[in-house]
Amino acid sequence: MIKDFKGTVVCASKYFTDLEMRKLYQQGVFHYGENRVQDFLAKKTKLMDLNITWHFIGHLQTNKVKEMINEITYLHTLDRLNLADQIMKYANHKIKCFVQVNLTAEDQKSGILPENLDQFLLEIKKYDKIEIIGLMTIGKDLDMVATEKAFMMLDLLASKYQLPYRSMGMSDDYELAIKHHATHLRIGRKFKELMD
């Protein structure tokens, strides 16, 4: 049950308008994750009076870093060094980042492949505006077996590198994510019914 979950439930708010988010905030939802830069910036402006913690959870293009990086607290999708280079160039505070790992071997999916994670984590140490706090992954659509494997692997890798946080689990697979020690769920479509 999501109610017993002790970690952070990030509302993946792409399905919600700023007005719906304002309502959710009044009901006690303070963490929001957007996955498109333009929508994020528009909503942040409209909700400026609220003390929201903003996460960015979508694929991030390098040319968008400048306008958004200082507006977020958490980036869930650090997946390449040239993105880190842009963050170094434009961030004026340390950004808490999850490294996105592709654990379902889907070509179209972003994320560091597990065999490259060691090297990536080594190189990223030089980037002093990036604080790696954990790993993030996305399950495989309609494949609970592959999804559970991915969540299990993410848990093992986070432990191996002594990273405290694991961002995994969405509306249809959050139970598997909790089972494998997720600390941050990203729930969108079913947010309202699951939080009821």
Ligand X SMILES: *Cc1c(COP(=O)(O)O)cnc(C)c1O
Q: Can residue 140 be called a binding residue for ligand X (CB under 6 A)?
A: no
Q: Near ligand X by CB under 6 A, which window of 20-28, 48-56, 67-75, 170-178?
A: 170-178
What is the Cα–Cα distance from 91 to 112, expressed in whole angstroms? 22
- Residues numbered 19-38 forming contacts with ligand X, rule: CB under 6 A: 35
What is the Cα–Cα distance from 118 to 122, expressed in whole angstroms? 6
Q: Which of 2, 7, 14, 50 binds ligand X (CB under 6 A)?
A: 14
φ and ψ at residue 171, rounded to 5 degrees: -55, -40
Q: Near ligand X by CB under 6 A, which window of 38-46, 60-68, 147-155, 165-173?
A: 165-173
Q: Can residue 11 be called a binding residue for ligand X (CB under 6 A)?
A: no
Q: Can residue 189 be called a binding residue for ligand X (CB under 6 A)?
A: yes
Greatest CA separation for the chain: 44
Can you tell me whether residue 38 is helix, strand or coil?
Answer: helix
Inter-helix orientation angle 114-124/144-160, to 10° = 30
Q: Can residue 185 be called a binding residue for ligand X (CB under 6 A)?
A: no
Q: Please report, as ranges, the residues that interact with ligand X according to CB under 6 A.
A: 12, 14, 35, 57-58, 170-172, 186-190
